[in-house]
Amino acid sequence: MKIDGVELRRAAMPLKAPFRTSFGTETTKDVLFVKVVTSESAGWGECVAMSEPRYCSEYTDGAAEVLRKFLIPSLGELTDPDVHALSATMEQFAGHPMAKAALETAFLDAELRAAGTSMSSYLGAVVDRVPAGVSVGIKNSIDELLEEVGGFLDAGYLRIKLKIEPGWDIEPVRAVRERFGDDVLLQVDANTAYTLADARHLQRLDDFDLLLIEQPLPEEELRGHARLAEMMRTPVCLDESITSAKVTADALAIGACSVVNIKSGRVGGYLESRRIHDVCKANGIAVWCGGMLETGIGRAANVALAALPGFVLPGDTSASDRYFAEDITEPFVLDSGYVKVPEGPGIGVEPIPDLLEAITTSVEWIGM
Ligand SMILES: O=C(O)CCC(=O)N[C@@H](C(=O)O)c1ccccc1
C-alpha cells in the first residue's frame, strides 16, 4: 500500500476532573494524533506520551519531533510496505516507543480498513466484549476516595485500581475494603514510587487480598521486584518495566512479576503487545490492558487488544465518560461492566470531524 503522507494533529482534550498519580496530576490530555493517508484508505493512531516526561522519558512535543524528523521520513524508503516492513524500518531509530506505536497503529488501521478486516480479528480476538476496570487517582481525602469508588461500582465497573504512593496506601486500601467488602476486585498501582526498603511496609497490603500490586519499584529494578515478590503474598505486576517481549521473558525468568500490564504505547505498538501477550500466555502469566487516558481512537485499539485470550483480568479499558465529558469518537460505554469490541474495519471508530476540530490546536501535513 502506497503512503501519500502523514498528518500530525495536536489537540487539548479536557479531563472531567484532575487525575493524580504518584508522578503528577493531569487536567488536560495533550494529545498527538497521527493520521496515515494511503492510496486506498486513511488510518488513525493516538500517541499516549504525556506533555511532560514523568511516566517515562517520552513527552508529546518530543514524540511529534521524532515523528516529523525521523520516523515519518524513513517511510519514504518503502515502496509497498505492510505493517511489518514499516515496523522494521522504524527500528533503525533507537527508543521512542510511543511515537513509533502511534505511527505503526495509524498505518495498521489504514491497512486493515483497506482490507475490510477489524483490528480485533487481525490481532486474534476471541471475545466481542471485554471486562472493564477503572483507575482511581490519589485523592485529597478518604471520603473523596470512597465517594468516587462508590460511583464507579454503582456504574458497574468490575475492578477497582487505586493509585498509591508513600503516605497514601494502607489507609485508602483499608477504607475501600471496609466500605465495599472483600468481594470487590481491587488492585493498587504505585507507578515506581517505592524502594525495596519499603518492603515491610508494603507487606501490610497482604492483609487486603489484592489482585496485584503494580510497579512498586523503579522501571530498571527487575531483581528488586523479584526480591519483593518473594516477600509479599500479593502478586507483583509490572507496567513501566515491561518495554518489550524480550524484557518480559527476562522478567518472568527471574520471577520479577506474576502479572503483566500491556500498554501498546510503552512497548512500541500492537505487534509487540501481541508478542508480549504470547510470551505471557506461554508461561501461564495473566495479562491485562493498561490505559493512558486515551480518547476513543486509542481506546478502540486497546479494547481490540484486550479481546485476546490471555487478557484474563479486567483492564483500564474504561468507558469514555470516565475521563471525558464528550469523546471525539462514538463513546465507549459500560454495559453490565463490559465494553464492546468495535467490529468495523481497522480500529472500527473514526474521529467525529466537528468534535476533533473543536479540540485541535495544530495540524501539519508531511507528504511522502
Ligand atoms: O484509565 C486509564 O486510561 C488510565 C489508567 C492509569 O491509571 N494509567 C496510569 C498508569 O500508570 O497506568 C497513567 C496515568 C496517566 C499518565 C500515565 C499513566
Q: What is the pLDDT of residue 276?
A: 99
Q: What is the pLDDT of residue 321?
A: 98
Angle between helices 142-155 and 170-180 (to 10 degrees): 50
Distances (CA, A) of 73 to 29, 77, 287: 27, 8, 35
Cα separation of 212 and 91, whole Å?
33
Report the catalytic residues.
163, 263
Ligand 1 atom nearest residue 55's Cα: 17
Give me ligand 1 centre to Cα 197, in Å.
25
Angle between helices 83-90 and 97-115 (to 10 degrees): 170
Beta strand spans in 48-104 (E): none
Whose Cα sits closest to atom 11 in ligand 1? 191
* Look-up of cell digits 502506497: 2
Contact 45, 106 (CB under 8 A): yes
Distances (CA, A) of 339 to 3, 133, 134, 316: 33, 10, 12, 11
Distances (CA, A) of 138 to 25, 26, 188, 351: 9, 12, 11, 31
Whose Cα sits closest to atom 14 in ligand 1? 292
Question: pLDDT tens per residue, the chain (368 residues)?
Answer: 899 999 999 999 999 999 999 899 999 999 999 999 999 999 999 999 999 999 999 999 999 999 999 999 999 989 889 999 999 999 999 999 999 999 999 999 999 999 999 999 999 999 999 999 999 999 999 999 999 999 999 999 999 999 999 999 999 999 999 999 999 999 999 999 999 999 999 999 999 999 999 999 999 999 999 999 999 999 999 999 999 999 999 999 999 999 999 999 999 999 999 999 999 999 999 999 999 999 999 999 999 999 999 999 999 999 999 999 999 999 999 999 999 999 999 999 999 999 999 999 999 999 99
Q: What is the pLDDT of residue 77?
A: 87
Whose Cα sits closest to atom 13 in ligand 1? 292
Sign of the dihedral through C-alpha 39, 44, 45, 51: positive
Report the side by side order of strands in the sheet with 259-262: 133-136, 159-163, 186-189, 213-214, 236-238, 259-262, 286-289
Q: What is the pLDDT of residue 80?
A: 86
Give me ligand 1 centre to Cα 290, in Å.
7
Nearest Cα to Cα of residue 264 among 236, 285, 239, 237: 239
Contact 208, 177 (CB under 8 A): yes
Residue of 13, 29, 292, 320 to mutate, ligand 1, most atoms within 8 A of C-beta: 292
Nearest Cα to Cα of residue 32 among 57, 55, 6: 6
Q: What is the pLDDT of residue 79?
A: 85
Q: What is the pLDDT of residue 241?
A: 98
Distances (CA, A) of 224 to 16, 26, 233: 37, 29, 16
Give me ligand 1 centre to Cα 366, in Å.
30
Q: What is the pLDDT of residue 1?
A: 86
Asked if ipTM goes beyond 0.95, one says: yes
Question: Which residues form the pocket of ligand 1, taking CB atoms under 6 Å from any ligand atom?
Answer: 21, 26, 50, 55, 135, 189, 191, 239, 290-294, 316, 318
DSSP H or E stretch at residue 24: strand 24-38
